[in-house]
Amino acid sequence: MTNTHHGISITKKPASSRGQADMGWLKSAHSFSFGSYFDPENIQFETLRVINDDLVAPGSGFPTHPHQNFEIFSYVQSGALEHRDSMGNGSVVSAGGVQYMSAGAGVQHSEFNASDKDPVKFLQIWLVPAEQNTRPRYDTLQFDPDDRNGRLKLFLSPDGRANSLQINSHTNVYAAQIDGDQTLEYELTRDQPAYIHVVSGTLTINGETFSEGDAAQVRGHGLLELAKGKTAEIILFEFLPN
């Protein structure tokens, strides 16, 4: 359903509308067409191609496989995620961390649950690159406890400003945690699109309630107000002109 108010159009994408996959060791919800889930009207939104909400069982994971010409990051919610790739990188990112890979001209990698006791829950997100066939890169970051508390924290950007990771995409990516009487305002300064994914909890976006797994596709010009959070965590994508 789409609501328009003061020049801003918000289309709500309910969590229940996502594609589902259950492989035993992996339970996943797909915000966009992926794998066996295909909807020709839900391929991508601007540069955002994949949001997979993944839960991986202890000791399991994705064996080595190739990627090319996507900006890929994993946003870890709980547990720990182990990464290895053909560039020689290896790392373990725990809750509150992000691992980022620019696949560029081609790379192979694996992602596994680093624990043999506890599951790992994370969002796997793909962005369309600004340039094709660039040199692959890999990096990680760990949020400080207060980075996202009641404010939008930029953590991926084309220019790497404000200690964000520099990415090859016309996209700024923010994270925020909103609880109690905290209110965030986000200004769309031009007729630009944005996308908000609710990682956890509940909140209102311009007065409409959104819950875990819900998303908002935003277009127009004006002010977004994020409020009434109940342990809410969101990722906001700001799509820039090419």
pLDDT in tens, 73-123: 999 999 999 999 999 999 999 999 999 999 999 999 999 999 999 999 999
Question: pTM for the whole thing?
Answer: 0.96
Q: DSSP class of residue 125?
A: E
Give the pLDDT score at 192.
81
pLDDT at 191 over 80: no
Q: DSSP class of residue 133?
A: S
Pairing type for strands 80-85 and 107-113 reads antiparallel
109: region left, alpha or beta (phi > 0 left; psi from -120 to 50 alpha) = beta
Q: What is the pLDDT of residues 35-82, one digit of tens each?
A: 999 999 999 999 999 999 999 999 999 999 999 999 999 999 999 999
Give the pLDDT score at 162.
96
Tokens of 54: 């993944």
Tokens of 167: 């990415």
R_g of the chain, CA atoms, integer Å: 17
- Above pLDDT 70, what percent of the chain? 98
Give the pLDDT score at 189.
82
Q: What is the mean pLDDT of the chain?
A: 96
> In 33-148, which residue ranges form alpha helices assigned H by DSSP?
none
Smallest Cα–Cα separation from 103: which of 76, 83, 122, 79? 83
Give the pLDDT score at 5.
63
